[in-house]
Chain A
Amino acid sequence: MAEVTEEKVKAKEPKEPLFSKKNKKLLSDPLADNNPITIQVLGICSALAITAQLKPSIVMAISVIFVLGIGNVVISLMRNIIPSKIRIIVQLVVVAALVIIVDQVLKAFAYTLSKELSVFIGLIITNCIIMGRFEAFALGNGPWKSFLDGVGNAAGYGVLLIIVAFFRELLGSGTLFGIKVLGDPIEKTGLYAIGYENNGFMVLAPMALITVGIIIWIQRSRNKALIEDH
């Protein structure tokens, strides 16, 4: 992405408070105006795959926050001793180690969820957001800033995941966290009594893409500065 070089240039600055304005921006920017999914269009694959329901999306969001937050700190601490030629391999080792921790924790404490998410936890390794932040930020910044940046970006990713999953689960299955909020489709209670039916298309991956597209559309029409010129 275009930001890559810009952020690398940012040199070390003299001591500043933990939550200075700049640091806060690191945390809050990715939540909205520099969202990794809607603005940088990274990490789309997992956003399509696991957002059919809210619960796995939230677990995924937490996992990515953990991996990216810790990973950014580790890379940032090692940034001066990693030979630049093999930095990708080193980064991969770090992510892989963290992902395995997440995977094992899930298997131990939330087995059904881990089954549901299946390969997608393992595939966090290939999530472009993670490698992107390592390359663009952690290699050029101190550990605290890297931590904020990692958590911020992962949270931006997670927020979008949860928004998409909310609509997909509500419209596609008529539930939220598995609770039938719209009534029972088989016994025809609630909304189903008057002929409402679940939208099967929302459960399929294309609708996730279209939902993300609609969010991008709304975001850009609210903030015209985000629209790129061609």
Chain B
Amino acid sequence: MGLKDKLHKLKLKYKDTKVSAAYNAIHTFLYMPNETTHSGAHIRAVDDLKRTMNTVIMALVPCLIFGMFNAGYQHHLAAGEIEAVSNGFFSSVFWSFDNLVVGLWKVLPLVVVSYVVGLTVEIIFATIKKHEVEEGYLVTGMLVPLIVPIDTPLWMLAVAVVFGVVIGKEVFGGTGMNILNPALTIRAFLFFAYPTWMSGDKVWVHGAVERANEIAGGAQLDAISGETILGSLAQGAEVKYSVSDMFLGFIPGSVGETSTILILLAGLFLVFAKIGSWRIMLSATIGALVMGLIFNGVVSSGWIGEGSKFFGLMSTEFWHHLLIGGFAFGVVFMATDPVTASQTNKGKWIYGFLIGFISILIRVFNPAYPEGVMLAILLMNVFAPTIDHYVVQGNIKKRMKRLKLKTA
């Protein structure tokens, strides 16, 4: 008797007990459940919720691996131990064992904490509500470590995950009922609760905070600065990274969001697998470009001078906005969340466009919130049902008109 059969047997034993929800969750994670539905009409399809979630996770894995190497690379680079990458994406300076060790050491705990805490909350709620544990946290749990700074203290992450899962999801009724994207709720909580750990020039490179503390304590060391590109631009400072660095991802930032090329490939994969909505991705990109062009236009027509505090970000070339910050990651993985996005096709265009438009707007006009895409997506999550409502109403009106024309 294989493990699979044993698990099926155990399931019968635990049926209707308190642990059944937790047990079933682990069971269905490992194997296809051995039960079939008996009543009602059904659509037979292979892409159940579990497969959808797994596809997204597959798309996220390259970003995670790149993030690990990048964590080590940024750490060693800032410490002056290695030279900057100059010879393309597959540079051996970047893909080195030393970098991976630092990455594993710092990133894996984030992943583990995110999953353990999140799934514990899910299982507790499933047990109380006597529901099955839903798959929703699989993706959220992988997204969370990718969108936080590398040095985020683990207990803060745990607090934020509890908050995000309970207030962002469970109070609305669990997976599929939430209004806000749980991963972004978790990040927004961290951002507002512990701003010193979520912004500034120290948190993006592993070791920078410790080094700053040592220097404050009187040690004779060089300070490590890990300013993100957005941070430098907001202060009007020179950006020391080339466009190809930005595109390939050799820049400081949250763990998994730096490499635009990998995110782009993941986005194409999601569109190809028909899991992510290409309408949202495309319209968000258009929205961001339009806003960027407007700002470029304002600068080139001389409406604001170089003294203005918005000048740095406004004069950034419009298409650079797609490469810096978390824009690409947010648009590909967060804005396309099927639960919180608009459901209608026309609605998706409006929803995506406004996400792109507003994220660049926030990014430029409020340097205190450099990650505009997070706030833009959360804002549009709230408006998505309204957009859908008016799209549907508009459609009904159009058809009524057609009907009247025919009958008249």
Contact = CB atoms under 8 A, between A and B. Distances in A.
B112 interface: no
Interface in B140-168: 153, 155-156, 159, 167
A195 interface: yes
Nearest to B155: A195
Contacts of B197: 197
Nearest to A171: B193
B171 A197 contact: no
B167 A201 contact: no
Contacts of B171: 213, 217
B193 A199 contact: yes
Contact of A197 (B167, B192, B194): B194
Interface in A6-54: none
A217 B125 CA distance: 14
Nearest to B196: A197
Interface of B is mostly: helix
The winner among A200, A204, A210 for most chain B CB atoms within 10 A is A200
Interface string B158-195: 01000000010001000000000000000001001111
B192 A201 contact: yes
A139 interface: no
Nearest to B166: A214
A204 B195 CA distance: 13
Nearest to A204: B192
Interface in A75-105: none
Interface string B186-215: 000100111111000000000000000000
Contacts of B189: 201
A202 interface: yes
Interface string A195-211: 11101111010000010
Interface string B385-405: 000000000000000000000
Contacts of B193: 199-202
A210 B194 CA distance: 18
A200 to B, nearest CB: 5
Contacts of A195: 153, 155
Interface in A169-208: 195-197, 199-202, 204
Nearest to A210: B167
Contacts of A217: 171
B195 A197 contact: no
A157 B101 CA distance: 55
Contacts of B167: 210
Nearest to A214: B167
Interface string B271-309: 000000000000000000000000000000000000000
Interface in A112-150: none
Contacts of A202: 193
Nearest to B188: A201
Contact of B194 (A200, A204, A213): A200
A186 to B, nearest CB: 12
A26 B189 CA distance: 40
A132 to B, nearest CB: 27
Contacts of A199: 159, 193-194
A202 B192 CA distance: 9
A217 B193 CA distance: 23
Given A210-B167, A217-B171, A200 B153 contact: no
Contact of B192 (A196, A200, A213): A200
Contacts of A204: 192
Nearest to A195: B153
B397 to A, nearest CB: 28
Contacts of A201: 189, 192-193
A217 B167 CA distance: 11
Contacts of B196: 197
Interface string B76-102: 000000000000000000000000000
A200 B197 CA distance: 11
The winner among A195, A197, A201 for most chain B CB atoms within 10 A is A201
B172 to A, nearest CB: 12
Contacts of A200: 192-195
Contacts of B195: 200
Contacts of A210: 167
A170 to B, nearest CB: 14
A123 to B, nearest CB: 26
A188 to B, nearest CB: 11
Contacts of B159: 199
A204 B191 CA distance: 12
A200 B192 CA distance: 6
A201 B189 CA distance: 7
Question: What 8 pairs across the A-B complex have the smallest Cβ distances?
Answer: A201-B193, A201-B192, A199-B193, A200-B193, A200-B195, A197-B194, A210-B167, A195-B153
Interface of A: 195-197, 199-202, 204, 210, 213, 217
22 contacts: A195-B153, A195-B155, A196-B155, A197-B156, A197-B194, A197-B196, A197-B197, A199-B159, A199-B193, A199-B194, A200-B192, A200-B193, A200-B194, A200-B195, A201-B189, A201-B192, A201-B193, A202-B193, A204-B192, A210-B167, A213-B171, A217-B171
Given A196-B155, A201-B189, A202-B193, 19 more contacts: A195-B153, A195-B155, A197-B156, A197-B194, A197-B196, A197-B197, A199-B159, A199-B193, A199-B194, A200-B192, A200-B193, A200-B194, A200-B195, A201-B192, A201-B193, A204-B192, A210-B167, A213-B171, A217-B171
